[in-house]
Structure 1
Amino acid sequence: MISRIGVALMGAALLLYIVITVWLGVMFFSVGNPAGIAMGIALVVLAPVGGWALIRELAFGFGADRLGRTLDAEGTMPEAPEELTPSGRLRADDAEPMIAQYAAGVAASPDDWRAHYRLGVVQDAAGRRKDARGSIRQAIRLARSRP
């Protein structure tokens, strides 16, 4: 619940930032000189990009949270090894076998969103954020098409 409040606050802050950016862009237009108009165009163009990024990240976060809660309720989330690094990540010697195990699960059933999500969780715990986001994004796509 706390994380949802944080997301709402950050979303509201970004929305306020976007509104102020558009307002400043309009103010730059009113100056009338070429530099002001160019800066106004840049600000007005960047605001929708920020809004798109906000919507995309919120959709990813809510989708990942929904799938995570489903797997947790089913009791099929990956088990963490007993020893983790002080930062809570998997140790290097534990990470590779776990990633290989869950990657094999994805290879065995490539259309199963649960396998992709579990792989993403393990990749994230190993510190491979980019790979983890890709796996979880694929899990969200698969869950939408096949519940």
Structure 2
Amino acid sequence: MGRGLPAAALMGLLLLLYIVVLGTRAVAFLGSGSAVGIAIGVALVVIALVGAWALVREFAFGLRSTRLVRRLGAEGGLLDDDLPRRPSGRVDRTAATAAFDRYRDDATAHPEDWRAWLRLGLAYDASGDRRRARAAVRRAISLSAARP
């Protein structure tokens, strides 16, 4: 959805670097022998583990959503790309929001169809609502796993 693999890879590498630095600091604090140092070390380990979990979760989401978008594209079911664009190439949000209703109505009419939910997620993304886009795509992923 959106920025693509290079941006995701860069952000993943930066987060991985952060986790490694955090982990080395945690080991140093754990080896300090003082109660405060050990407590800080444990807290840093927890933060590093949460960061690693988030990294894995985001990449898994990206892979699954990319797979579904490719599948929908191969079926010819992607959104119509006839929306006006700004000079930057991004879809005009006002036009995307106006065209959004048909995708919402389709997902409402077909609540068990992953294709409808994926199109809704792509429409949310085009209109700039990233939170709802991710939620709709997550629903599409879970529906596609249950009903290929």
Judged with a 3 Å threshold, the aligned counterparts in structure 2 of structure 1 residues 83 and 59 are, in CA distance, closer, same or farther, namely: same
More deviation, 7-16/35-44:
7-16
CA-CA distance at 1:45 after TM superposition: 0.8
CA-CA distance at 1:75 after TM superposition: 1.3
| Aligned 1:124-139 pairs, distance under 5 A | 124-139=125-140
CA distance in 1, matches of 2:30, 2:57: 29
Question: How many residues are aligned here?
Answer: 144
| Aligned 1:1-147 pairs, distance under 5 A | 3-4=4-5, 7-8=8-9, 10-87=11-88, 88-92=90-94, 94-147=95-148
CA distance in 2, matches of 1:98, 1:13: 37
CA-CA distance at 1:21 after TM superposition: 1.8
CA distance in 1, matches of 2:53, 2:47: 10
Q: For the aligned residues, what is the CA RMSD?
A: 1.9
CA distance in 2, matches of 1:95, 1:7: 24
Percent identity of paired positions between Structure 1 and Structure 2 = 45
Checking the alignment, whether the CA contact within 8 Å between 1:83 and 1:91 is kept in structure 2 is: no
Checking the alignment, whether the CA contact within 8 Å between 2:83 and 2:92 is kept in structure 1 is: no
Structure 2 gap ranges (5+): none
Checking the alignment, whether the CA contact within 8 Å between 1:71 and 1:77 is kept in structure 2 is: yes
Structure 1 gap ranges (5+): none
CA-CA distance at 1:124 after TM superposition: 0.5
CA distance in 2, matches of 1:140, 1:5: 22
Q: Classify the secondary structure of the residue corresponding to 1:58.
A: helix
What amino acid is the match of 1:146?
A: R
CA-CA distance at 1:97 after TM superposition: 3.1
Question: TM-score, with normalisation over the residues of structure 2?
Answer: 0.86
Question: TM-score, with normalisation over the residues of structure 1?
Answer: 0.87
CA distance in 2, matches of 1:140, 1:82: 26
CA-CA distance at 1:67 after TM superposition: 0.4
Superimposed CA distance per residue, residues 103-146 of structure 1 (whole angstroms, 9 cap, x where no aligned partner)? 11001110000000001111101111111111111000101111
CA-CA distance at 1:51 after TM superposition: 0.8
Q: Classify the secondary structure of the residue corresponding to 2:78.
A: coil
CA-CA distance at 1:96 after TM superposition: 3.0
